[in-house]
Amino acid sequence: MTFDRIDMNALEADLIRIRRDLHRHPETAWTEFRTTALIISELEKLGLPVEFGPAIHVPEKMYGMPKEAEMQACYERALQESDRPDLIEKMKGGFTGCITEIQGELPGPTVGIRVDIDCNDCDESAAENHKPAAGGYASLHAHCMHACGHDAHTAIGIGTARLLCAYRDRLPGKVVLVFQPGEEGLRGAASLTATGRFAECDYFFGAHVGLGISQKEKLQVGDVVASTYGFLSSTKFDAVFHGKAAHAGASPDQGCNAIAAASAAVINMLAIARHHDGASRINIGTFRGGTGRNVIPDRAELGIETRGVTNEINEYMEKAAVRVLEGAAAMYGCSVETRFMGSAGGVVCDEELVEKTVAVLEKTEGVKRIIRSGDFGGGEDVTTIMRDVQAHGGQVTEMILGMPLTAPHHNGLFDVDERVIGLGARVFASLALEVSRI
């Protein structure tokens, strides 16, 4: 489809401006206050209704919330950095993200489109060859960086809304456009899904820029993967070891060393036998503990994730990890508690919708090559929404928007080829406008 009612060059330039602003002001899961306020402001300019705040969440499903002090600091920072404190105040407590509906003038289905908006816990490179650093829009926030392309996803979502509003007279049915918080750590989709909001979707689309397939297949901007497989089922949890503090010199025998217990757990979790039925993963990404070099540490905390190519394999890894944690704690006279932080399962894209997606992509301006299916190669909590849509009779697919990679995702040198933003908006808008006509 050609969008001849819109000055696409001007639109793409403005979406790049928005992406760079988001890149400069990244916010991690459940703290996307300024990000959400910016999105709402853009949607309001289009005259669209926007739902946000507690109304779009189920609090008990808001997994992996930051600690209170971190949440408050991020909230106050957002108030300082945004010109919409009226919006941010309504999100206090982590109720970030938003949903809008675009009603077409023709009868038709309900199409769901989801983009994610949070950043990574990652420090951005200051290297001269890193384009955001050289261009003056690198992250202003320590240990926060859009190192997975969610800033581009957000801009794509805003661009999709603009295109669809310009073609309401040709839009059949309605589009539910979701700006999801907390994808990193597989935290945000469960809360939105639990409201029942996606049960009405006849078709549902998600997309991700880049990913490892871009390196393996040498994907360029203009290459679109119409569906994906290989979603890894994953569970995220923390393990907190409780020991007993004592003087490390005078009375070490009276203490129970929580760091020693956690260290034993780390080594032995990495040694869990891999499953014979398919890919299995475990990672211990954070390790915090202790109060001083001469104090037997009474507390240590690990950030852990397990993955499996099936739900059953992931469950095997998770159970084995918990068994190791409990054994390591017992070895050193400590106790251990685990705290669930997020999860997502696998999903299979619907072949009928994939066929329709390919047919629409063949007519979409800017799409140069279509790959029917590709390996996603990781976990993504869009699968939580997709599974819910399928459970209510809808069809789903998750696409990949190709682009050359400067560095792996979740790396301080990661960057987005910004040409993918305009293309992504055209892809989503074309699918919403045409999928029911195929």
What is the predicted pLDDT for the residue at 276?
94
Q: Number of structural domains, the chain?
A: 2
Is 112 a domain residue?
yes
Is 133 a domain residue?
yes
Query: What per-residue string of b and e applies to 258-276 under the rule 16 or more CB within 10 Å gives b?
Result: bbbbbbbbbebbeebeebe
For the segment 22-64, what is each residue's pLDDT rounded down to a tens digit? 999 999 999 999 999 999 999 999 999 999 999 999 999 999 9
Is 408 a domain residue?
no
Range 144-156 average pLDDT: 98
Where are the extended beta strands (E) located within 244-319?
A: 280-289, 299-308
Domain residues for 149? 8-207+347-372+381-397+420-437
Residues 22 and 155 sit within 8 Å (Cβ to Cβ) = yes
Domain CATH for 317 = 3.30.70.360
Is 404 a domain residue?
no
pLDDT band at 1 (very low <50, low <70, confident <90, very high): confident
pLDDT band at 331 (very low <50, low <70, confident <90, very high): very high
Q: Are residues 67 and 174 in the same domain?
A: yes
What is the predicted pLDDT for the residue at 292?
95
Q: Are residues 192 and 295 in the same domain?
A: no
Q: Are residues 327 and 262 in the same domain?
A: yes
What is the predicted pLDDT for the residue at 373?
95
Report the Cα 130 to chain-centroid distance in Å.
Answer: 23
Whether residue 218 is predicted with pLDDT greater than 90 in this model: the reply is no
pLDDT band at 212 (very low <50, low <70, confident <90, very high): confident
Q: Are residues 391 and 333 in the same domain?
A: no
Range 411-415 average pLDDT: 97
Q: What percent of the chain has a predicted confidence (pLDDT) above 70?
A: 100
Domain CATH for 115 = 3.40.630.10
For the segment 221-279, what is each residue's pLDDT rounded down to a tens digit? 999 999 999 888 999 999 999 999 999 999 999 999 999 999 999 999 999 999 999 99
Q: Are residues 315 and 357 in the same domain?
A: no
Q: Are residues 339 and 351 in the same domain?
A: no
Q: H or E element: which one contains 431?
A: helix 419-434
Residues 357 and 204 sit within 8 Å (Cβ to Cβ) = no
Is 220 a domain residue?
no
pLDDT band at 378 (very low <50, low <70, confident <90, very high): confident
Q: What percent of the chain has a predicted confidence (pLDDT) above 90?
A: 94
* CA–CA dist 234, 318 (Å, integer): 9
Structure tokens of 84?
């919409």
One DSSP character per residue, 97-163 reads -EEEEEE-SEEEEEEEEEEE---BS-PPP--TTSHHHHHT-S-SSTT-B--SSHHHHHHHHHHHHHH
Q: Are residues 240 and 332 in the same domain?
A: yes
Residues 349 and 396 sit within 8 Å (Cβ to Cβ) = yes
Residues 120 and 413 sit within 8 Å (Cβ to Cβ) = no
pLDDT band at 344 (very low <50, low <70, confident <90, very high): confident
Q: Are residues 55 and 194 in the same domain?
A: yes
Is 100 a domain residue?
yes
The CA-to-CA distance between both ends of the chain, in Å, stands at 13
* CA–CA dist 157, 114 (Å, integer): 8
Q: Are strands 228-229 and 98-103 parallel, antiparallel or unpaired?
A: unpaired
* CA–CA dist 338, 239 (Å, integer): 4
Q: Are residues 308 and 357 in the same domain?
A: no
Is 217 a domain residue?
no
Q: Is the dihedral of CA 216, 221, 223, 228 positive or negative?
A: positive
Q: H or E element: which one contains 397?
A: strand 395-401
What is the predicted pLDDT for the residue at 379?
85
The one-letter amino acid at 283: N
Q: Are strands 223-225 and 369-371 parallel, antiparallel or unpaired?
A: parallel
Report pTM.
Answer: 0.91
What is the predicted pLDDT for the residue at 215?
74
What is the predicted pLDDT for the residue at 187?
92
Q: Which of the residue ranges 112-121, 161-170, 374-383 would you say has the lowest mean pLDDT?
A: 374-383
* CA–CA dist 138, 132 (Å, integer): 5
Is 129 a domain residue?
yes
* DSSP β-bridge partners for residue 244: 256
Phi and psi torsions of 392, nearest 5°: -105, 15
Which parts of 338-381 fold into alpha helices (H)?
Answer: 351-361
- Whose CA is closest to 427, among 29, 51, 152? 152
What is the predicted pLDDT for the residue at 280?
95
Q: Are residues 356 and 332 in the same domain?
A: no
Q: Is the dihedral of CA 118, 122, 126, 127 positive or negative?
A: negative
Q: Are residues 89 and 102 in the same domain?
A: yes
* CA–CA dist 104, 108 (Å, integer): 8
Whether residue 432 is predicted with pLDDT greater than 80 in this model: the reply is yes
Whether residue 214 is predicted with pLDDT greater than 80 in this model: the reply is no
- Calculated CA dihedral for residues 228, 232, 235, 236, nearest 10 degrees: -80
Whether residue 296 is predicted with pLDDT greater than 80 in this model: the reply is yes
- Residue 339 DSSP label: E
* CA–CA dist 90, 2 (Å, integer): 39
Phi and psi torsions of 56, nearest 5°: -100, 5
Q: Are residues 249 and 154 in the same domain?
A: no
Long-range contacts of 140-144 (CB under 8 A, 24+ apart): 140/24, 140/25, 141/25, 141/26, 141/27, 141/77, 144/26, 144/27, 144/28, 144/119, 144/120
For the segment 240-249, what is each residue's pLDDT rounded down to a tens digit? 999 999 999 9
